[in-house]
């Protein structure tokens, strides 16, 4: 309809997903086909292409060889800061780390568990709370059997699918998302920052648009589990640092 009326069309990428990130042959083949389709389409119409962060913008510009002036970065869709507002950190007897996501291996729950095992060997005790949505018919899905095994062994406290994410964030000390997935702007990190909880994440997708390393949390090179555990250990062991980082977004 927009083309018929000679209007500029607007398209939006809300993260690129595994097709553009994976090195597996099947995904590389699909990426090749999709890239060619997008290239022909976008070059032949008057349009504006929106991205949630600069990494996705640069990747698509290079992959499709499209002019930068056809693109814009909007830094995510945002959240309601009247609802997700600062909350004083709780006085938990044991530090609580919150992970919320679809239950996919690429979202990083296994990394968080591996990091926790490293820290617990050093005598650093804390609790991992996990809320999420189970995924069906996906090779990347974590099975409920695996999740229950982690829960029963004490690696995590599995909460299942929850609608009270705001209240859960308010009840914890740290929010973690060690995802290797090509994220857009992760909503859970936006919400954590607004509520005043420090965050820790891998530097992937739009996570780097939200986290200034050492300022409102820690941003760790993707896949570096040892460094992730070190940075997480700092947040767990230093309540003053947690409070300071949690207040940084509020002071902006």
Residues 167-208 pLDDT 10s: 999 999 999 999 987 777 889 999 999 999 999 999 987 888
Residues 220 and 164 occupy one common structural domain: yes
Identify whether 110 is part of a domain.
Answer: yes
Identify whether 171 is part of a domain.
Answer: yes
Q: How confident is the model at residue 6 (pLDDT cuts 50, 70, 90)?
A: low
Structure tokens of 171? 């009840």
Are 65 and 85 in contact by the 8 Å Cβ rule? The answer is no
Are 49 and 70 in contact by the 8 Å Cβ rule? The answer is yes
pLDDT (average), residues 44-54:
83
pLDDT (average), residues 210-238:
95
Residues 57 and 101 occupy one common structural domain: no
Residues 123 and 32 occupy one common structural domain: no
Residues 130 and 227 occupy one common structural domain: yes
Predicted confidence (pLDDT) at residue 144 exceeds the cutoff of 70: yes
Are 53 and 185 in contact by the 8 Å Cβ rule? The answer is yes
Give the residue numbers spanning the domain of 23: 9-73
pLDDT (average), residues 115-132:
97
Predicted confidence (pLDDT) at residue 149 exceeds the cutoff of 50: yes
Residues 56 and 105 occupy one common structural domain: no
Residues 16 and 118 occupy one common structural domain: no
What's the pLDDT at 2? 47
Which of 217, 205, 219 shows the shortest CA–CA distance to 249?
A: 217
Identify whether 87 is part of a domain.
Answer: no
Residue 77 or residue 124, greater confidence = 124
Q: How confident is the model at residue 147 (pLDDT cuts 50, 70, 90)?
A: very high
Residues 129 and 19 occupy one common structural domain: no
Q: Which CATH number fits the domain that encloses residue 138?
A: 3.40.50.2000
Q: Which long-range contacts (CB under 8 A, 24 or more apart) does 91-94 make?
A: 92/171, 92/172, 92/173, 94/125, 94/126, 94/127
Q: Is 157 helix (H, G, I), strand (E, B) or coil?
A: strand
Residues 168 and 51 occupy one common structural domain: no
Residue 178 or residue 63, greater confidence = 178
Identify whether 4 is part of a domain.
Answer: no
Residues 104 and 225 occupy one common structural domain: yes
Identify whether 212 is part of a domain.
Answer: yes
Taking the CB of residue 85, how many other CB atoms lie within 10 A of it? Answer: 13
Residues 107 and 219 occupy one common structural domain: yes
Residues 123 and 244 occupy one common structural domain: yes
* Count of structural domains, the chain: 2
Which of 250, 231, 251 shows the shortest CA–CA distance to 241?
A: 231
Last residue of a domain, one of 73, 107, 127: 73
Identify whether 84 is part of a domain.
Answer: no
Identify whether 91 is part of a domain.
Answer: no
Identify whether 80 is part of a domain.
Answer: no
Residues 210 and 114 occupy one common structural domain: yes
């Amino acid at each position: 309809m927009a083309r018929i009326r000679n209007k500029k069309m607007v398209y939006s990428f809300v993260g690129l997903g595994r097709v553009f990130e994976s090195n597996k042959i099947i995904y590389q083949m699909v990426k090749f086909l999709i890239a060619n389709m997008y290239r022909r389409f976008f070059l032949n119409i008057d349009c504006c292409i929106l991205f949630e962060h600069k990494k996705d913008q640069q990747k698509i510009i290079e992959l499709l060889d499209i002019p930068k002036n056809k693109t814009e970065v909007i830094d995510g869709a945002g959240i309601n800061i009247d609802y997700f507002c600062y909350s004083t950190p709780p006085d938990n007897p044991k530090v609580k780390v919150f992970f919320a996501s679809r239950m996919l291996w690429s979202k990083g729950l296994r990394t968080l568990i591996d990091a926790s095992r490293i820290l617990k060997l050093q005598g650093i005790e804390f609790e991992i709370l996990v809320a999420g949505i189970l995924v069906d018919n996906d090779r990347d899905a974590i099975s409920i059997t695996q999740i229950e095994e982690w829960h029963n062994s004490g690696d995590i406290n599995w909460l299942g699918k929850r609608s009270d994410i705001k209240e859960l964030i308010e009840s914890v000390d740290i929010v973690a998302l060690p995802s290797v997935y090509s994220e857009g702007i992760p909503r859970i990190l936006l919400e954590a920052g607004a509520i005043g909880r420090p965050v820790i994440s891998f530097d992937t997708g739009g996570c780097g648009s939200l986290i200034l390393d050492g300022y409102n949390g820690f941003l760790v090179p993707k896949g570096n589990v040892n460094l992730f555990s070190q940075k997480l250990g700092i947040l767990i062991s230093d309540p003053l640092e947690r409070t300071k980082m949690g207040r940084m977004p509020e002071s902006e």
